[in-house]
Amino acid sequence: MNQTIDPKILERARTWLTGPFDEATKEAVKTMMENNPAELTDSFYRDLEFGTGGLRGIMGAGTNRMNKYTVGMATQGLANYLKKMFPHLNPVKMAISHDSRNNSSYFANIVAEVLSANGFKVFLFDGLRPTPELSFAIRYLGCQSGVMLTASHNPKEYNGYKAYWDDGAQMISPHDFNVIAEVQKITSVEDVLWNGNPANIQLVGSEIDKVYLDRIAALSLSPESIARHHDLKIVYTPLHGCGRKLVPEILQQYGFTNIHVVEEQAVADGNFPTVRSPNPEEHDALNMGIELAEKLNADLVMATDPDADRVGIAIRDPQKQMILLNGNQTAALIVHYMLTRWHELGRLKGNEFIVSTIVTSKILSEIAHSFSVAYFECLTGFKYIADVIRTKEKEMRYIVGGEESYGYLIGDFVRDKDAVSACAMIAEMTAWAADRGLSLFNLLSEVYHRYGFYKEGLISMTKKGKTGADEIQQMMVGYRENPPLTINGSPVLIIRDYQLQEETDLSARAKKAILLPKSNVLQFLLEDGSCISVRPSGTEPKIKFYFSVRNDFPPEASYETTERLLEDKISGIIDSLHLR
C-alpha cells in the first residue's frame, strides 16, 4: 500500500507513530497506512489553516484533522503570537467557549490548559454558549483574544476553532497569517505547554449571560407592538445546539409569552440525530419546526445553527402555507424594519451606516440609500463586516449588518453574527408588522414593490480531499483564463476579479482597482442586471456559485408570476454555465 502514498505524506504520518502521541492516535494512523492510503493522504497532506472561519476540519488523527494535537499546537502558536503583540500585559486575558459538537468541550478544556500553562488568565464558560456571547465576553472582560470551539453548521464529523482579536471580531490579516506562522514554527507536539495551571482558569457563566441579554433587550424598537401582540405564536428550534437557553430567554425578556420550543431538537447532541445537517439554510433542518407550527397554527418558525450565530426562518404565505425565506430576504426585512423604525423614532442623524458583503443582495444598498444611510460592502465573512465597523465607528454610527448566509448583527457590542439578537428582532418585526395589519410575507412584498423584486440562488459543489482542492483551483483558473462573454443570452459587461483586485469593463475596455483585500472571488455583471459570483469556500471543501437577478415589481404585478420569471432566469444562467 505504501507505494501509492506520496513519500512526503508518508514521512509526515510516520512522525505520528514515533512521537509523543497517545496509543489510540498511533493505532488510527497505522490503520490508515495499511488500509486506506486516500484517507491517509487527506489526513496528512497539509496542516489545518485559518480560513474565513478560523481552523476547521474533520475530527480524527493527522495534521489535517481536528484533534488534541492540532488544537494544542494551534493554541501554542496563538499564545506565542499574543505574547509578542501584548508584551506589556501580564497576564494576557483570554475567553473560551464551545458549542454542542462532539469533542467541543474536550477541545475547549485543552485550549484552556495550554493557555493557562503559558501564564494567561483564562475565562472559560461553564457550559456551552453561543458564538456571539463569546465575542461579547471578549469585549466585556477586556480580553486580548478568545477562542470558540465550533464548526458552525458543518456535518457532525467536523469541528473547528474560531480565533478572535481583542475587539471581539474573528482575526483577519495580518493576525490570522501571523498566528499560522507561529504555529508552523512548532515542529513537535513537545513544543506545546500542555500542563495547565488551574489557578489561571476562571469559570464564567450566568453573570455574562445577564449582561449580554440586557444589552440585546436594549435594542428593542417597538415595545408597544410587542405588548399588543405578546401572544404571537412562535416556534423555535436550536437544532441540538446552544441556542436552547438564551433564545427563548431573550424572547421572554422582550415580552413574548407564546413561545414553543421543538423539544426533540432542544437536546444538546453533537450527532444531530433529527436532521441530515444542522444547517438552517436547508429546508430539512426546519421540517420539525414547521410540523409543530402547523399543529399550533403558529405565525413564525426560527431555527439557529449549533453555535447560534445564524438563523433561518419560515413564515406563512397568502395561502397560509409555511415557506422558508432565504438569507437575503430575511436581511432585507431586518434592514427595512430597523431603518424605518430609526427614522420614525428620529434616530437618523445623517452619520449612520450598514454593512454587507459582495455576494449579498444589492437590495440592502437600495434600502440604505432610500433612508440616506451609508452602505459599505466588504468581502465574504463576518470578520470583514466587523472590520468595517472597527474602521468607521469613531465618526459614524453602525445600525445593522448582514450577509446572505443567514448571519445578521444588530448593534455593535458583539462583533460577529448573532442569532440571539436576530431572533429577538425578527420576532419584534413580526409584531410590528401585525400592528400594521401585515404578515411578514406582506411586509416582504411591500419591500419588493418599493425597491424591486430580487431573487437569489446558490449552487454549492463539494470537492473533498486534496484532489477536490486541486479541482476547485483549476475551475477558478479556467474562469480567469477563459471568462464567459455571454451568459444566458445576456452579454457580460463587467468582470470583477477580487484576487487581482481589478474590475474590467468589457464594453469600455477599461480597468479600475478594487479597493478591498485580495480574495479568490470572481464576479460577472450582465447587461440584464444579473450578477454571478464564483467563490471557493474558506471553511469547507466547496466552490460556491451565487446568482442574483432582479425585476421591477409594480403593485399590480403578481408575486408568483414575477418570482417564477426570476427563477427561470436563474435556471437559464445555471444551464448556460453547465452547472447541473
pLDDT tens for 208-264 read 999 999 999 999 999 999 999 999 999 999 999 999 989 999 999 999 999 999 999
Do residue 196 and residue 228 come from a single domain?
no
Is residue 268 very low, low, confident or very high in pLDDT (cuts 50, 70, 90)?
A: very high
Q: 3-class DSSP state for residue 429?
A: helix
> Which pLDDT score is estimated for 468?
86
Do residue 163 and residue 58 come from a single domain?
yes
What is the Cα 394 distance to its own chain's centre? 26
For residues 269-274, give the mean pLDDT: 97
Do residue 364 and residue 423 come from a single domain?
yes
Do residue 145 and residue 223 come from a single domain?
no
Q: For residue 72, give the nearest of 13, 149, 135, 126 by alpha carbon.
A: 149
Residues in the chain, how many? 580
> Which pLDDT score is estimated for 53?
58
Question: What is the domain range of residue 91?
Answer: 46-204
Q: For residue 81, give the nearest of 4, 153, 166, 198 by alpha carbon.
A: 166
pLDDT tens for 68-108 read 999 999 999 999 999 999 999 999 999 999 999 999 999 99
What percentage of the chain has pLDDT greater than the value 90? 90
> Which pLDDT score is estimated for 1?
43
Do residue 344 and residue 428 come from a single domain?
yes
> Which pLDDT score is estimated for 130?
98
User: Does residue 52 lie in a domain region?
Assistant: yes
Report the predicted TM-score, pTM, of the whole model to 2 decimal places. 0.94
pLDDT tens for 426-457 read 999 999 999 999 999 999 999 999 999 999 99
Last residue of some domain: 425, 451, 477?
Answer: 451
Do residue 430 and residue 374 come from a single domain?
yes
Is-contact 376 392, C-beta < 8 A? yes
Total domains in the chain come to: 3
Is-contact 145 78, C-beta < 8 A? yes
User: Does residue 20 lie in a domain region?
Assistant: no
pLDDT tens for 145-184 read 999 999 998 899 999 999 999 999 999 888 988 888 888 8
pLDDT tens for 326-344 read 999 999 999 999 999 999 9
Q: Is there a cis peptide before residue 130, judged by omega within 30 degrees of 0?
A: no
Query: CA separation (Å) from 220 to 228, 352, 429, 576?
Result: 15, 18, 10, 46
Do residue 386 and residue 255 come from a single domain?
yes
> Which pLDDT score is estimated for 50?
63
> Which pLDDT score is estimated for 188?
86
> Which pLDDT score is estimated for 303?
98
- 326 vs 318: CA distance, rounded Å: 18
Last residue of some domain: 171, 204, 237?
Answer: 204
When the pLDDT of each residue in the chain is averaged and rounded to a whole number, the result is: 95
Do residue 283 and residue 421 come from a single domain?
yes
Which residues are annotated as catalytic?
152
Last residue of some domain: 204, 222, 255?
Answer: 204
Quick check: 2 pLDDT over 50?
no
User: Does residue 28 lie in a domain region?
Assistant: no
pLDDT tens for 376-396 read 999 998 999 999 999 999 999
Instruction: Give the β-pairing of 374-378 and 322-324.
Output: unpaired
Indicate the Cα dihedral angle 470, 71, 413, 153, nearest 10°.
50
User: Does residue 150 lie in a domain region?
Assistant: yes
Do residue 446 and residue 461 come from a single domain?
no
CATH code for the domain in which residue 154 is found:
3.40.120.10
pLDDT tens for 283-337 read 999 999 999 999 999 999 999 999 999 999 999 999 999 999 999 999 999 999 9
The β-bridge partners of 202 are: 123
The β-bridge partners of 313 are: 302
Query: CA separation (Å) from 175 to 172, 214, 413?
Result: 6, 32, 21
Of 488 and 19, the one with more pLDDT: 488
The CA R_g of the chain, rounded to the nearest whole Å, is 24
- 513 vs 370: CA distance, rounded Å: 27
Do residue 440 and residue 555 come from a single domain?
no
Query: CA separation (Å) from 523 to 492, 508, 520, 575?
Result: 10, 17, 10, 17
> Which pLDDT score is estimated for 16?
95
